[in-house]
Structure 1
Amino acid sequence: MLRSRQSADTAYLNAITYPTNELRDRGVFEAALAIAGDKSASVPARVFANRVLYWALLPSAGVDYNTLVDIDGDGRDKCIRYGQSFHYSVKTTSELPSDYREQSYRVTWAATRDLTEPAPVRQSAACVAVVARPRSGEF
């Protein structure tokens, strides 16, 4: 993923990130977090990195690029097309940081508040921030 941070090829980025929908891996999470917050990375790479973060929070949820960026332009926030699948099994190759929800929230919430960020990055970050946001007593 890190080597693809400049790519704008959505088919390629989808192919390399799609397997993360049922994967828990600290290195993958940290790479996605770095790309999501990297203003020098391509917009598509950042959107797909946000999807990886989203899946770290909601494994196997039915979300794709167009859904994350609301590409049809109807103006509604629609971060998820289909609910979380009941037919998945998460494979953990290395534990996520204990504060992975907080880290996800901080990076994505900052992007949603930054009006210099491209709209697709802000929208996809908002999708992650909504899922990661702290509940009462957290963080």
Structure 2
Amino acid sequence: MKPLKLICYVIGFVFLVSGLMKFIDLSMVNSFDQMGIPLSNYVYFFVALFEVMAGMLLIGRIFIHICLIPLIFILLGAIFFTKIPVLTNEGMFAFLFASRLDITLLILLAFLWTKRKDKEAFI
């Protein structure tokens, strides 16, 4: 199996599960509201929908270049709204520990972005 296919499967799986959990466990809507995100209910469902759709498209390796942009913004938002407060309140090591998955996914998405024109690598 080609490495880029595996990366697509792994990232797609993570976002698919994350988006589905947002639809299943609606108590997470409160966390968006507590972060001070305007129109948190709408943003919550919009993010969940994009995570599910982009996760499925990545697993199917369809429209990869289109999926990457919203996922990168979702990860940057997650770091900004949930991990930066950890950095300011608890310090660098707590921040690095809390953001390890977000940073890893962001690097993998950036890697896929650089490879998006090489369609042969994804087949």
Is the TM value for this pair above 0.5?
no
Query: Larger Rg: 1 or 2?
Result: 2
TM-score by length of 2: 0.31
